[in-house]
Amino acid sequence: MYGTFKALASFLAVVAGIQAQESSVSRSFYGMAYSPDGALLPQCGADQASVTRDMSKLAQLTPRIRLYGADCNQTELVLQGIKEAGNVDLSVWLGIFIDGNDTVYERQLNAVTTAIQKYGTEHIAGITVGNEYLLLSYGDGGSATDPKGVAARTTLLNYIQKTNQTLKAMKLDRNIPLGTADAGSAVTKELCAGADYVMANVHPWFGHVPLEQSAGWTWQFFQDFDVNVCAQAPNKPIMYIAETGWPTASDNASMTTNGPSPASVQGLQTFMDTFVCQANKNNTNYFFFELKDEEWKKKYGGVEPYWGLYDFNMKYKEGLKVPNCPVTSPTGRAAGPAPGHSGSAGSGSKNGAKSAASSTHAAASTLAFALLASGIYAIL
């Protein structure tokens, strides 16, 4: 009998933990960086069920997400996932990854335009051509203004122009903004002049910045090296922080600390507590990095795989609590399914959350009764 009640107590503790975890999630992030699991050539293992699940979770955290590329059908998987989750309120910046190879660009451009033709423009907020293409082109020790950097910028802007021409030929119902994402140190006035928006990666961890100074440093770096630079361009592009966050672990003990502060869950919590609400208040556009850990990055070692709010198995990291400063959606909608939508997967909504909570309570009650009954039967 004692063992029965002990099992019951353990189960109820787990249920309480799940409910406490759910209550710690708030739609407080301006935006979130996202890559579907398995959306990598040549395997292309991303599946619709997982992406739909992710769309439901993302809609609870933010009204905006950005993608990095279009290989492995990820554009359609995301747009279909939004639909299956109940047409949840997510605005998506699609991605076209480039490496200077025209074949790679054409393949992804075709994937993006095919998805737009199939799903329309409702959830599309922009198309980001390139991710750190300039940084990867000029490499360590180079700069955006040296010959390699200038050549890479020319290639990138040509791809943006070609994308623009392709979209115009499609005669869509509205214009889709085009931009790029790169290292915060790679932004130049010339780059800004060729884009509707510019996204800049600003990572205090890689800047060797003390944790307690990281939020302020992130904002100041973005202002000094990105916002103020693009303000000199005639078109005044919209500015976003493409990535910012804090790692929670490292595969290599010697790389757990990068400068004065360690990679830890508490570090991520501190960065969220000091950055998120403050950035929302001062109208900084940012995409938090990121929804979940990325196991494929283990090949790079160090902290690379461990930036998510969720771990590899989509378990919310213990102890994390999202700051409570909800943002306004650009659509004015709430997180859940669109009014009148009959989709079966509405777990991203408040109703879906209530339904899930009710199911959890029901499961707890059922098992509790079963365990108690077993205990009583054992006595008899």
pLDDT in tens, 69-93: 999 999 999 999 999 999 999 999 9
Task: Say if residue 336's pLDDT is above 90.
Answer: no
Q: Is residue 362 part of a domain?
A: no
pLDDT value, residue 377? 32
Buried b (16+ CB within 10 A) or exposed e, 141-173: ebebeeeebbebbebbbebbeebbeebeeeeee
**Does the pLDDT at position 359 exceed 50?**
no
- Kindly report the average pLDDT of the chain as a whole number: 87
| Whole-prediction pTM | 0.85
Residue 300: partners with Cβ closer than 8 Å, 6 or more residues away: none
**How far is CA 302 from each of CA 77, 93, 204, 258, 293, rounded to the nearest angstrom?**
30, 28, 16, 10, 13
Q: Would you state the pLDDT for residue 186?
A: 97
**What separation in angstroms does the CA of 135 have from each of 139, 143, 205, 312, 349?**
6, 8, 17, 28, 39
> What secondary structure letter does DSSP report for 71?
G
Give the Cα-Cα-Cα angle 296, 300, 305 (nearest 5 degrees). Answer: 50
> Does residue 114 belong to any structural domain of this protein?
yes
For residue 128, give its domain range: 28-353
From the list 22, 132, 190, 304, the catalytic residue is 132
Q: Is the pLDDT of residue 25 over 90?
A: no
Q: Is 22 a catalytic residue?
A: no
Prior bond of 132 cis (ω within 30°): no
- Mean pLDDT within 216-228: 99
Residue 40 lies in a domain: yes
Whether 243 is a known active-site residue: answer: yes
* pLDDT at residue 334 in the model: 82
Per annotation, catalytic residue among 76, 84, 122, 243 = 243
Evaluate whether 38 touches 379 at the Cβ level (below 8 Å).
no
Instruction: Kindly state whether residue 372 falls inside one of the protein's structural domains.
Output: no
The number of domains in the chain is 1
Residue 67 lies in a domain: yes
Comparing 18-27, 112-121, 189-198, 258-267, the range with the smallest average pLDDT is 18-27
Could you tell me the pLDDT band of residue 341, with boundaries at 50, 70 and 90? Answer: low
Asked if residue 132 is part of any domain, the answer here is yes
- Residue 140: band (very low, low, confident or very high) from pLDDT cuts 50, 70, 90: confident
Taking 50 as the threshold, does the pLDDT of residue 356 lie above it?
Answer: no
CA distance linking residue 206 with residue 203, whole number of Å: 6
Using only the alpha carbons of the chain, give its radius of gyration: 23
DSSP 225: I
Residue 370 belongs to a domain: no
CATH number for position 179: 3.20.20.80
Residue 294 lies inside a defined structural domain of this protein: yes
> In angstroms, how far is CA 86 from the centroid of its own chain?
19
